[in-house]
A = this chain, B = another copy of it.
Amino acid sequence: MATTTQEKQSQAGRHQEVGHKSLLQSDALYQYILETSVYPREPESMKELRELTAKHPWNLMTTSADEGQFLNMLLKLINAKKTMEIGVYTGYSLLATALALPDDGQILAMDINRENYELGLPVIQKAGVAHKIDFREGPAMPVLDQLVEDEKNHGSFDFIFVDADKDNYLNYHKRLIDLVKVGGLIGYDNTLWNGSVVAPPDAPLRKYVRYYRDFVLELNKALAVDPRIEICMLPVGDGITLCRRIK
């Protein structure tokens, strides 16, 4: 999101005030999932990175532990080898991905903020998987445009995870649909936007929530009618829409 550091910090704080910790019917149910099935299975490195990130002022941006676990399993299930991630923050989903890929797996990871990535990098290095990561600082669009220019890159990615500026998801989609392989998967994060997709018009929403909500609603409509993909909206984390490229 193209905002100043200070603005982002206060946004993160205000977002936290908004009740639900998840999209589920109760915090208790979400906690049950975390304590029964997620935390006991969480790799040590991911736990360390999660705790490190919890101390960071923008920690609302991080991928949740249940989502990390799901991504990790998904990547193993589809035998992913070459992946891309747009939006890294401190690297929790990046680590979940790196742990899932084979030793010669490759992840192209992009974020406008290198500092946050470097906060988590020591943990990723300690986990022995940093060699799989090619990190690029800066906006993703120029990188994507360059990749698309060369036909060699078309259909070269097994999995692409987008967890970044919501007002650009559809623009990313135009490029990613050529870069992901047929049968491959694109995952768009935060597509249920804290449940605000169904908030009544007069609901008190934070400015940034309301602003990006329009883009999220538009994205969801567009993906639903895109004939090049099959979709599935999963209520994991803040909502992930999985898009399987069919042609």
Contacts and interface: CB of A to CB of B under 8 A. Distances in A.
A121 interface: no
Given A37-B220, A40-B224, A198-B32, A24 B235 contact: yes
A86 interface: no
A38 B221 CA distance: 12
Given A28-B198, A73-B244, A244-B73, A33 B233 contact: yes
A108 interface: no
Chain A contact patch, size range: 35 or more
A183 B78 CA distance: 10
A29 interface: yes
Contacts of A31: 198
Nearest to A38: B233
Nearest to A233: B37
Nearest to A192: B29
A167 interface: no
A185 to B, nearest CB: 7
Contacts of A174: none
A2 interface: no
14 contacts: A23-B25, A24-B24, A24-B235, A29-B235, A32-B198, A33-B233, A33-B235, A36-B224, A37-B220, A38-B233, A41-B224, A73-B242, A78-B78, A235-B236
Interface of A: 20, 22-26, 28-29, 31-33, 36-38, 40-41, 66, 69-70, 73-74, 76-78, 183, 185, 192, 195, 197-198, 220-221, 223-225, 230-236, 241-242, 244
